[in-house]
């Protein structure tokens, strides 16, 4: 405990936070303030519906990482949250035992990632599993004794000990070469090592062993385990469970086909594919309370990762699949059944917010319950729903709401004092006529300590995806309030391709990366400047990451209206990027096929072909562990800028992936970005 307190005090000192400040806030959000925010995880409601377990992340700036502990709070918010764990190692993934007597969680406090448990009233935590391999996740069986586990193993290994032995032999070997015969050979930010995530059943009688429910998977079948325990659901009777797996052998890198498999938990039968007819993504299989139905999220267009995710229900007796929300033009998120099985609660992007909905299972009608901010992780607690929520000017806290959408109550207040100490930039959503004559939405945010009659430089933020959204949420990488706190007016547009405005709007970007989205961005910025006279349109900078980084390179070739640009992990040559990325289905869908079969699709909106026009000073940022948009794309962008004599700077993070996650790296990122745009704007 002393180490934790010392670390927290050190962080507060480093970040310059004053505990005694009582005057009206005078400064806007800084990166130091942002890092100091405590990050509340999604709720996990107790079986009696009276308490909520959750994780809380504190930033350990000196250690350059986040630290996670387990807390419990009453659903009615009648008392403050109680901290249950305070170990130097991370404690995550809380789960209640069926009788409510224990909270199980993952921790590496014993030297490897294992399941532990602690009483919800506190006390000493005790180990549960003692397996020789690290665990990725777990779920508790209805009997309260057995566990479903996931762990990375060699699929042809006969025992867990064999996997451990192979790893030890690899570590001892002087040869570090890797040999591959199929894709993926690396994925996201990790090189494939021959191991795959398998499902196990753990029996307390054998604390140091577990039964593999998926033996041989990935070697003798064209099915490869995929994702984590969020895509596993145990039947209420405990006799079977379902899991999600990627379907395909060599072609797994260019197919989005995932299926839901049913397997008996006694391990005596092979898994059965429940969604074999659907050749696109399936998500989040979740048993109904009576076990008679299985809810899933389902896309229907193979190869398209941004298709609309429909709610479907599988009758477990007949195995028939019924699409429930075909008429609802929105995508479901996580799925939470009502106790009577008549309603499913979910979240979905909704006009610049991520809202909470209730879906009638019989009719598919969706009722909006909570619309503002970013809602997440809804769980039932009696006659209320517990969920997490954040907004542009509020970090995540836990809230409850009645089932009819009334009486919203905040039940955690970890960041209240920090929020009150900051002068936030006021924001407003606006709309305009964009490409194709469609209504397009965006946000404009005033700088902190706004003075009427004064003009402010513009930070124009462009989201990635491209099927994503810059909306009403508190972001730890692209937080508009940090720019507002630094004296900028922030503008961000949900251009064609953005989510939350219907699937037709999402699909509009397919094959048109530089067309309608670019038109929306330019028209949106013009509309904001016309509507808000405090924006200095002649003193604007543009910044973007991923697709937003691509768009920065496209902007550089099409206009010189910006004083400076920031390109983070963005492509400049879609043809070469195709051969270096890992998930090939994405460029193949977006550009109509492979570069050799459909070269026109890649050449249509190609920043590389407009390098001759580049003239705007540009900061290029890239992560060395980004295998989605590989580092050579950032290096190529910087090389082109340098060769043309355009003022430029290259910020390279060898230890980061597509995002900059480590606290000290995040601090440097913000310092570099703000310094760069300050250099080229006339801040007053």
The per-residue pLDDT for range 623-652, each reduced to its tens digit, is 999 999 999 999 999 999 999 999 999 999
Interatomic CA distance for residues 246 and 524, integer angstroms? 39
CB atoms within 10 A of CB 673: 22
The confidence band for 23, taking pLDDT boundaries of 50, 70 and 90, is: low
Q: What is the pLDDT of residues 516-551, one digit of tens each?
A: 999 999 999 999 999 999 999 999 999 999 999 999
**Tokens at residue 32, please?**
């130091």
What is the pLDDT, as a whole number, of residue 228?
81
For the chain, what is the mean pLDDT? Answer: 94
Interatomic CA distance for residues 543 and 567, integer angstroms? 6
pTM reported for the whole predicted model: 0.95
662: buried, middle or exposed (CB in 10 Å: 19+, 13-18, 0-12)? middle
367: buried, middle or exposed (CB in 10 Å: 19+, 13-18, 0-12)? middle
pLDDT reading at 242 higher than 70: yes
- Which residues, in sequence order, are CB contacts of 608 under 8 Å at separation 6+? 572, 573, 575
Contact 478, 492 (CB under 8 A): no
**Residue 646 gets which letter from DSSP?**
-
Q: What is the pLDDT of residues 651-660, one digit of tens each?
A: 999 999 999 9
**Residue 476 gets which letter from DSSP?**
S
Contact 34, 476 (CB under 8 A): yes
pLDDT reading at 683 higher than 90: no
Domains of the chain: 440-680 (3.40.50.1820)
Contact 526, 540 (CB under 8 A): no
What is the pLDDT, as a whole number, of residue 9?
36
Q: At what angle do helices 547-558 and 516-531 cross, to 10 degrees?
A: 80
Q: What is the pLDDT of residues 155-166, one digit of tens each?
A: 999 999 999 999
Q: Which of 122, 148, 145 is nearest to 135 (CA)?
A: 148
Q: How many CA atoms lie within 13 A of 263 on its CB side?
A: 27
Bridge partners (DSSP) listed for residue 402: 384
Interatomic CA distance for residues 68 and 93, integer angstroms? 10
- Nearest 10 degrees: Cα torsion 542, 15, 29, 522: 10
CB atoms within 10 A of CB 506: 25
**Tokens at residue 605, please?**
């909106």
Contact 388, 400 (CB under 8 A): no
Q: What is the pLDDT of residues 405-457, one digit of tens each?
A: 999 999 999 999 999 999 999 999 999 999 999 999 999 999 999 999 999 99
Determine the average pLDDT of the residues in 37-52: 98
Using a pLDDT cut of 70, give the percent of the chain over it. Answer: 96
Determine the average pLDDT of the residues in 305-334: 98
pLDDT reading at 208 higher than 90: no
Interatomic CA distance for residues 191 and 384, integer angstroms? 44
- Better pLDDT: 269 or 493: 493
Bridge partners (DSSP) listed for residue 648: 618
Interatomic CA distance for residues 414 and 419, integer angstroms? 10
The confidence band for 223, taking pLDDT boundaries of 50, 70 and 90, is: confident
**Residue 504 gets which letter from DSSP?**
H
Contact 54, 43 (CB under 8 A): yes
Using a pLDDT cut of 90, give the percent of the chain over it. Answer: 91
Interatomic CA distance for residues 247 and 395, integer angstroms? 38
The confidence band for 249, taking pLDDT boundaries of 50, 70 and 90, is: confident
pLDDT reading at 358 higher than 80: yes
Q: What is the pLDDT of residues 390-401, one digit of tens each?
A: 999 999 999 999
């Amino acid at each position: 405990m002393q180490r934790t307190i010392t670390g927290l005090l050190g962080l507060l000192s480093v970040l310059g936070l004053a505990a005694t400040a009582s005057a009206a806030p005078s400064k806007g959000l800084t990166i130091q303030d942002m890092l100091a925010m405590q990050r509340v995880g999604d709720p996990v409601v107790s079986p009696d519906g009276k308490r909520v377990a959750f994780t809380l992340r504190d930033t350990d700036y000196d250690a350059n990482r986040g630290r996670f502990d387990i807390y419990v709070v009453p659903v009615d918010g009648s008392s403050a949250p109680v901290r249950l764990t305070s170990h130097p190692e991370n404690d995550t993934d809380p789960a209640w035992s069926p009788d409510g007597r224990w909270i199980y969680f993952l921790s590496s406090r014993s030297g490897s990632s294992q399941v532990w448990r602690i009483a919800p009233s506190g006390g000493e935590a005790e180990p549960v599993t003692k397996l020789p391999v690290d665990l990725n996740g777990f779920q508790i069986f209805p009997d309260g004794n057995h566990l479903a586990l996931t762990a990375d193993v060699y699929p042809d290994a006969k025992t867990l000990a064999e996997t451990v032995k192979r790893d030890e032999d690899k570590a001892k070997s002087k040869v570090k070469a890797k040999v591959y015969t199929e894709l993926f050979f690396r994925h996201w930010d990790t090189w494939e090592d021959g191991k795959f995530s398998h499902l196990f059943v753990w029996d307390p009688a054998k604390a140091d062993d577990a039964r593999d429910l998926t033996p041989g998977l990935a070697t003798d079948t064209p099915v490869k385990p995929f994702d984590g325990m969020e895509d596993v659901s145990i039947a209420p009777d405990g006799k079977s469970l379902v899991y999600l797996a990627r379907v395909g052998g060599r072609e797994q890198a260019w197919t989005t086909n995932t299926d839901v498999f049913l397997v008996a938990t006694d391990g005596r039968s092979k898994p059965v594919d429940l969604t074999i007819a659907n050749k696109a993504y399936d998500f989040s299989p979740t048993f109904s309370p009576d076990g008679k139905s299985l809810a899933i999220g389902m896309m229907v267009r193979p190869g398209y990762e941004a298709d609309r995710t429909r709610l479907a229900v599988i009758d477990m007796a007949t195995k028939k699949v019924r699409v429930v929300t075909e008429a609802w033009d929105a995508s479901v998120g996580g799925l939470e059944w009502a106790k009577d099985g008549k309603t499913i609660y979910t979240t979905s992007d909704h006009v610049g917010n991520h809202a909470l909905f209730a879906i009638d299972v019989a009719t598919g009608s969706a009722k909006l319950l909570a619309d503002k901010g970013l809602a997440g992780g809804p769980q039932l607690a009696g006659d209320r729903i517990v969920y997490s929520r954040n907004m542009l000017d509020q970090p995540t806290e836990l809230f409850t709401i009645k089932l009819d959408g009334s009486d919203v109550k905040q039940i955690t207040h970890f960041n209240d004092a920090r929020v009150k100490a900051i002068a936030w930039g006021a924001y407003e959503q606006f709309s305009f006529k964009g490409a194709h004559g469609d209504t397009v939405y965006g946000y404009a945010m005033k700088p902190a300590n706004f003075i009427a009659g004064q003009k402010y430089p513009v930070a124009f933020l462009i989201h990635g995806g491209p099927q994503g959204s810059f909306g009403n949420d508190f972001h730890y990488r692209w937080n508009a309030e940090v720019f507002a706190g630094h004296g900028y007016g922030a503008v961000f547009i949900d251009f064609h391709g953005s989510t939350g405005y219907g699937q037709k709007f999402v699909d509009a970007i397919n094959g048109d990366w530089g067309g309608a989205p670019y038109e929306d961005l330019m028209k949106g910025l013009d509309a904001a400047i016309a509507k808000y006279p405090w924006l200095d349109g002649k003193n604007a900078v543009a910044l973007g990451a991923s697709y937003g980084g691509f768009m920065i390179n496209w902007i550089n070739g099409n206009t010189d209206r910006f004083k400076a640009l920031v390109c983070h992990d963005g492509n400049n040559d879609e043809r070469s990027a195709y051969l270096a990325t890992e998930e090939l289905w994405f460029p193949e869908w977006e550009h109509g096929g492979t570069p050799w079969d459909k070269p026109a699709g890649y050449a249509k909106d190609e920043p590389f072909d407009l390098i001759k026009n580049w003239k705007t000073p540009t900061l290029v940022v890239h992560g060395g562990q980004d295998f989605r948009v590989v580092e050579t794309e950032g290096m190529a962008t910087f090389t082109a800028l340098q060769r043309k004599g355009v003022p430029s700077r290259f910020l390279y993070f060898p230890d980061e992936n597509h995002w900059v996650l480590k606290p000290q790296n995040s601090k440097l990122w913000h310092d570099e970005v703000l310094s760069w745009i300050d250099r080229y704007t006339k801040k007053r």
